């Protein structure tokens, strides 16, 4: 049974910025990093299920939901440093780090900047558009779609469309109302501060060679053919590991949390095979 009885919530001051986080369970530490709309609630169901065997740390990323934004626009480096501070504060030394979508990019940066904090890195469908051969075309297409959505209804409407496109309209409708409200409200921050940050980053060969932590790359079976899946394939090859396909598409932790937790749990304690 999930161990949620000792779920703890707090706000910790990190260099002048309050970050909201939740901790569930006991055992080896697992930090989960969300992508767009950056809310700890993305992982609530999965974290409950994993908490029988792990100490699961989730948090609202800087600028999102219940966490402060700070005085300047955020950067990948800043987001990675926030994650490292949380690990030091809550896990003493290191944690297995799971990142999905834009959170996967932050997780990669974390492992590059703070390898001592990461015991194992699990990245799920990082949106590394720039590494793909049709990156220019994809970039124009995504920019056009975003501009149209913002013009039609502003950031709240645009982020709702983004969530529906990536997670499914049925999933959006089933979300807890408080979580859904926070996610939609985060649209302004995402479009103003995070979208370009995620879309523009291309890891250099030197950065990838400098990854000295075990890396596992995941993609959803239902994502085959999408740029998310293709980017995951590229990354797995670049870091010399096998691509692991799991259930669902881009947001399985919201759409099918039971199945996703069942897919993720055995990977958390499994040695990473390098090809």
Q: How far is CA 160 from CA 119, 145, 164, 171, 254, in A?
A: 35, 13, 6, 12, 15
Q: What is the mean pLDDT of residues 214-228?
A: 97
At residue 4, the pLDDT reads: 53
Q: What is the mean pLDDT of residues 185-205?
A: 96
Q: What is the mean pLDDT of residues 213-219?
A: 97
Confidence band for 11, pLDDT divided at 50, 70 and 90: confident
Q: What's this model's pTM, rounded to 2 decimal places?
A: 0.95
Which are the contacts of 122, defined by CB distance < 8 A and separation ≥ 6? 96, 97, 98, 99, 107, 215, 216, 218, 264, 267, 268
Residue ranges and CATH numbers for the domains of the chain are: 8-132+202-267 (3.40.50.1820)
Q: Is the pLDDT of residue 26 over 80?
A: yes
Task: State both tokens at 18.
Answer: 């309050």
Q: Is the pLDDT of residue 89 over 70?
A: yes
Percent of the chain clearing pLDDT 90 (strictly above):
88
Q: What is the mean pLDDT of residues 2-19?
A: 73
Q: 5-9, 38-42, 57-61: which has the minimum mean pLDDT?
A: 5-9
Q: What is the mean pLDDT of residues 109-126?
A: 97
């Amino acid at each position: 049974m999930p161990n949620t009885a000792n779920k703890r919530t707090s706000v910790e001051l990190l260099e002048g910025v309050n970050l909201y986080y939740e901790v569930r369970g006991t055992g080896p530490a697992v930090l989960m990093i969300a992508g767009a709309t950056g809310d700890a609630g993305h992982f609530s169901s999965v974290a409950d299920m994993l908490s029988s065997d792990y100490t699961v740390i989730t948090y609202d990323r800087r600028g999102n939901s219940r966490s402060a934004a700070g005085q300047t626009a955020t950067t990948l480096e800043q987001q990675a440093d926030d994650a490292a501070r949380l690990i030091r504060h809550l896990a003493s030394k290191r944690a297995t780090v799971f990142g999905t979508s834009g959170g996967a990019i932050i997780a990669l940066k974390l492992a590059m900047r703070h390898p001592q904090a990461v015991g194992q890195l699990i990245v799920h469908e990082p949106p590394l558009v720039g590494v793909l051969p049709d990156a220019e075309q994809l970039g124009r297409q995504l920019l056009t779609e975003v501009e149209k959505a913002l013009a039609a209804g502003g950031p709240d409407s645009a982020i709702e469309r983004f969530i529906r496109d990536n997670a499914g309209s049925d999933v959006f409708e089933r979300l807890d109302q408080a979580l859904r409200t926070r996610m939609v409200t985060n649209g302004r921050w995402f479009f103003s501060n995070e979208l370009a940050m995620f879309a523009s980053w291309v890891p250099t060969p030197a950065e990838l060679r400098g990854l000295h932590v075990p890396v596992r790359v995941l993609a959803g079976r239902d994502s085959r053919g999408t740029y998310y899946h293709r980017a995951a394939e590229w990354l797995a090859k670049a870091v010399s590991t096998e691509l692991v396909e799991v259930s669902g598409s881009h947001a399985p932790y919201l759409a099918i949390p039971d199945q996703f937790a069942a897919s993720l749990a055995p990977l958390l304690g499994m040695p990473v095979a390098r090809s």
